[in-house]
């Protein structure tokens, strides 16, 4: 069974940086899609950024493009979300999700079309 464990959340000031980590285990896929999603208080969950391990393609939501960077450790099933110049509207619980289908990020990521989800890590952006 796929297990996803997020870490790295916390309190950060506007304009600051934070790096989230997602450690994945419990599967034997050669390639997969993996990504970050978030849910702000009172809001629906939304896609933030996704990555295909087959070809390295990435997708970012317009709200984080240019500020956040998704990456993967080449030696293990761990991904990161480097969050720079964070703003109060980035406050949310951030979830990591994985799916065996490693294509179509541009529609599957915003549609939350991923089969396995972590428990989330909370990010609060406040002065």
Alpha helices in the chain (DSSP H): 105-108
pLDDT band, very low/low/confident/very high, at 112 (cuts 50, 70, 90): very high
The answer on pLDDT for 78 being more than 90 is yes
Which pLDDT value is given to residue 74?
81
Element (H, E) at 76: none
pLDDT band, very low/low/confident/very high, at 12 (cuts 50, 70, 90): very high
**What is the rounded average pLDDT for all residues in the chain?**
96
Token readout for 36 is 């970050």
Closest CA to 101 of 116, 81, 80: 116
């Amino acid at each position: 069974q796929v297990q996803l464990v997020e870490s790295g959340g916390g309190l950060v000031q506007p304009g600051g940086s934070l790096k989230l980590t997602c450690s994945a285990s419990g599967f034997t896929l050669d390639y997969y899609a993996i990504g970050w999603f978030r849910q702000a208080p009172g809001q629906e969950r939304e896609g933030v950024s996704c990555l295909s391990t087959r070809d390295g393609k990435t997708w970012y939501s317009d709200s984080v493009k240019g500020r956040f960077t998704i990456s993967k450790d080449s030696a293990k099933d761990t991904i990161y979300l480097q969050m720079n110049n964070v703003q109060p509207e980035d406050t949310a619980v951030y979830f990591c999700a994985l799916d065996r289908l490693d294509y179509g990020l541009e529609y599957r990521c915003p549609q939350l079309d991923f089969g396995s989800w972590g428990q989330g890590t909370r990010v609060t952006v406040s002065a």
